[in-house]
Amino acid sequence: MKKLVILGAGTGGTIMANRMRKELDRDEWDITIVDKYKNHYYQPGFLFIPFGMYKKRDVIKPKADFIPYGVNLIYGEIDRVDGEKNQVLLQDGVILNYDFLIIATGVKIFPDETPGIKGKLWHKKVFDYYTIEGSSALGDFFKTWEGGDLVLNIAENPIKCPVAPLEFVMFADAFFVERGMRDKVNIKFVTPMSGAFTKPRASKVLGGLLKEKNIEIVPDFYIEKVDNENQKIVSYDEQEVHFDCLVTIPVHKGDPMIGRSGLGDDMDFALTDKYTLRSDKFENIFILGDAANIPTSKAGSVVHFASEIVFENLMCAIENRPLTGKFDGHSNCYIETGFGKGALIDFNYDTEPLPGHFPFPGIGPFGLLKETRMNHYGKLLFRWMYWHILLKGKEMPISAHMTMAGKKLHDI
Amino acid sequence: MAEKTYAGVTINVDEEGYMTDSSQWTKEVAAEIAKEEGIEELTDTHYAVLEFIRQKVSEGATLTIRAIGKSGHTDIKGFYKLFPGAPLKKATKIAGVPKPSSCV
């Protein structure tokens, strides 16, 4: 019996468990998936919780519901991967042998990397919203907050879903307008980047939107610490920003297991060929999603597109053929801009987000790099598609490879 | 693509002044780019950091300020003092490597 082991039962691992179980003969292949948590979180939904738009039950479902019959699901902590011996060692002493391994352990926040984040104001005036605990605590805080300096700070790149911080401040703008207290809330977007976004055209459009909404951008701010006494964040070059409520996007790193296994870089992201998605270290290991060190967004849409490439290349490797799948870094993100509108960006390794229509040229229904109501509905619809289509590895109506059709090169 | 002349040598640069051919880099070229960036003199520590950046980039690693702070040549505060303002952008420009694309 040959063995395929998948580490991580999040978006990527679950998609692969479903696809591979359908593809590989049960008499020949044993498939095992390992995760330490029993709940599957719809992470894009965390953004909506502080504003009371989603409740916990909208974003949490049992992982087991999405793992198909015929796949062994093990709840356990991974100690490390021994690539030389083709073994995964779990912390409780269990050893899993594999012929092929998929690592999809994702990325997590590490608030302890920045002194003071977890100080006495943690979950009182300092919040994250990248965990269910953080986003729920912030939701409770907002219910009775009377206003002041609302500061969003990104500690370090890369982060999960790079547009989420922009969405957060635009949601906050709409939320406090609707509560009739926007004049009491001073919203600041404090970022280590030199603008709202890294890619030039999108940065210009999104930066313009923030300005229209009276949200101040504080660029080139690389946080050193949070001063809990004086309610300030302080940068390495001694800039200071005062807060009455700090929403931090803490440092993100891969799973420490990747570091312990010698498979990663200094942030525990697995060293990965950005086209084939195979580990740089071992030919029978593939890396899917946020766990990889490839230069693209850490986001579910990327995981979904990349899963098609991992599937193709894993089948090539199993059948001793050259790898034919080539990932282009395709990313597709809905951006909530508040007041029932949204924007959409679609890009890859080589092409920055451009204006136009998506997916059908000239028609849409979605507009690229502009605010429309339809884009907002697209994002809401996506939650349903996530639970019912995407996780189960069924066909989505969007190609894994980006297309230039519908995109305009010159009109901003 | 544009060209600039540093230390008597013609260098290929992109529209933002970042070198597009890393092999054209020399210490003398670095010293002249540094002057344009407002750094009058490059010390041994500057060069150690620049070499670290060049090595990391040639290995295909993603550069972060955090990684440079752990390089053993300087800490993050020191890195800001060496290349004031936007240290990673300045240091990569002077090191003759592409502008770091923080992951989108």
**DSSP code per residue over A54-103:** S-HHHHEEEGGGGSPTTEEEEE--EEEEETTTTEEEETTS-EEE-SEEEE
Phi, psi angles (nearest 5°) of residue A38: -90, -15
User: Which residue, A3, A60, A1, A2, is CA-closest to A33?
Assistant: A3
pLDDT of residue B91: 94
Check A295 against B103: CB less than 8 A apart.
yes
Per the structure block, which two tokens stand in for B65?
């300020």
Per the structure block, which two tokens stand in for A44?
């894009």
- B103 counts as catalytic: yes
Q: Is B73 a member of any domain? A: yes
Where do runs of H (alpha helix) occur along A145-183?
Answer: 164-178
pLDDT category at B103 given cuts 50, 70, 90 is very low
β-strands A87-90, A245-249: how paired? unpaired
DSSP state of A386: I
User: Do residues A61 and A383 lie in contact, with contact meaning Cβ atoms separated by under 8 Å?
Assistant: no
DSSP state of A117: T
Q: Does B80 contact A at CB distance below 8 Å? A: yes
Q: How many CB atoms lie within 10 A of CB A45?
A: 19
Report whether CATH 3.40.50.800 matches the domain A2-106+255-318: no
Per the structure block, which two tokens stand in for A258?
């990747």
Measured in angstroms, the CA of A295 and the nearest CA of chain B are apart by: 5
Contacts of B104 in chain A (CB under 8 A): 162, 197-199, 295-297, 331, 347
Give me the residue from A192, A236, A269 closest to B80, CB to CB. Answer: A236
Per the structure block, which two tokens stand in for A371?
């605010």
Q: How many CB atoms lie within 10 A of CB A306?
A: 30
pLDDT of B104 higher than 50: no
Q: How many residue pairs from chains A and B have C-beta atoms closer than 8 A?
A: 59
Domain boundaries, chain A: 2-106+255-318, 111-251, 331-390
Give me the residue from B85, B89, B103 closest to A296, CB to CB. Answer: B103
Check B86 against A298: CB less than 8 A apart.
no
User: Do residues A54 and A34 lie in contact, with contact meaning Cβ atoms separated by under 8 Å?
Assistant: no
Contacts of B64 in chain A (CB under 8 A): 156-157, 267
Q: How many domains does chain B have?
A: 1
Measured in angstroms, the CA of B84 and the nearest CA of chain A are apart by: 8
pLDDT of residue B102: 56
Check A293 against B62: CB less than 8 A apart.
yes
Contacts of B77 in chain A (CB under 8 A): 224, 236
Q: Is B31 a member of any domain? A: yes
User: Do residues A291 and A254 lie in contact, with contact meaning Cβ atoms separated by under 8 Å?
Assistant: yes
A194, closest residue in chain B (CA to CA): B86
Check A267 against B64: CB less than 8 A apart.
yes
Over chain B, what is the mean pLDDT?
Answer: 88
β-strands A223-227, A232-235: how paired? antiparallel
Q: Is B7 a member of any domain? A: yes
What's CA A374's distance to the chain center, in Å? 23
CA gap B98, A377 in Å, rounded: 39
User: Do residues A366 and A213 lie in contact, with contact meaning Cβ atoms separated by under 8 Å?
Assistant: no
Report whether CATH 3.50.50.60 matches the domain A111-251: yes
Q: Does B65 contact A at CB distance below 8 Å? A: yes
User: Which residue, A230, A278, A283, A242, is CA-closest to A86?
Assistant: A283
Give the residue numbers spanning the domain of B43: 2-94
User: Do residues A101 and A123 lie in contact, with contact meaning Cβ atoms separated by under 8 Å?
Assistant: no
pLDDT of residue A45: 93
A259: helix, strand or coil = helix
B56, closest residue in chain A (CA to CA): A265
Q: Is B11 a member of any domain? A: yes
CB within 8 A of A217, min separation 6: which ones? A188, A189, A191, A195, A196, A207, A210, A211
Check B104 against A298: CB less than 8 A apart.
no
CA gap A28, A18 in Å, rounded: 16
CA gap A383, A376 in Å, rounded: 12
Q: Is B39 a member of any domain? A: yes
Q: Does B55 contact A at CB distance below 8 Å? A: no
- Indicate the residue type of A156: E
Instruction: Report cis status (omega within 30 of 0) of the bond before A322.
Output: no
Tracing tokens 């579910």 back to the chain, one arrives at A300
Q: Does B101 contact A at CB distance below 8 Å? A: yes
A256: helix, strand or coil = helix
Q: Is B101 a member of any domain? A: no
User: Do residues A99 and A2 lie in contact, with contact meaning Cβ atoms separated by under 8 Å?
Assistant: yes
Check A222 against B102: CB less than 8 A apart.
no
Per the structure block, which two tokens stand in for A208?
């313009």
Contacts of B65 in chain A (CB under 8 A): 156, 192, 222, 236
User: Do residues A159 and A166 lie in contact, with contact meaning Cβ atoms separated by under 8 Å?
Assistant: no
**A378: part of which helix (H) or strand (E)?**
helix A373-385
3-state helix, strand, coil in chain A (%, to 5): 30, 30, 40
Check A347 against B85: CB less than 8 A apart.
no
Contacts of A298 in chain B (CB under 8 A): 103
Catalytic residue of the set B23, B41, B60, B103: B103
Q: What is the 3-state secondary structure (H, E, C) of A387-409?
A: HHHHCCCCCCCCCCCCCCCCECC
Measured in angstroms, the CA of B80 and the nearest CA of chain A are apart by: 6
User: Do residues B30 and B41 lie in contact, with contact meaning Cβ atoms separated by under 8 Å?
Assistant: no
Q: Is B102 a member of any domain? A: no
Per the structure block, which two tokens stand in for A219?
């660029």
pLDDT of residue A278: 98
Check B102 against A157: CB less than 8 A apart.
yes
A266, closest residue in chain B (CA to CA): B67
- Can you give the pLDDT of all 412 residues of chain A as single tens digits? 999 999 999 999 999 999 999 999 999 999 999 999 999 999 999 999 999 999 999 999 999 999 999 999 999 999 999 999 999 999 999 999 999 999 999 999 999 999 999 999 999 999 999 999 999 999 999 999 999 999 999 999 889 998 899 999 999 999 999 999 999 999 999 999 888 887 778 888 889 999 999 999 999 899 999 999 999 999 998 999 999 999 999 999 999 999 999 999 889 999 999 999 999 999 999 999 999 999 888 998 899 999 999 999 999 999 999 999 999 999 888 899 999 999 989 888 888 888 888 888 888 888 888 889 988 988 888 888 899 888 988 877 778 888 888 888 765 4
Per the structure block, which two tokens stand in for A310?
């991992």
The residue of A223, A265, A330 whose CB has the most chain B CBs within 10 angstroms, and thus the best one to mutate to test that interface, is: A265
Check B66 against A157: CB less than 8 A apart.
no
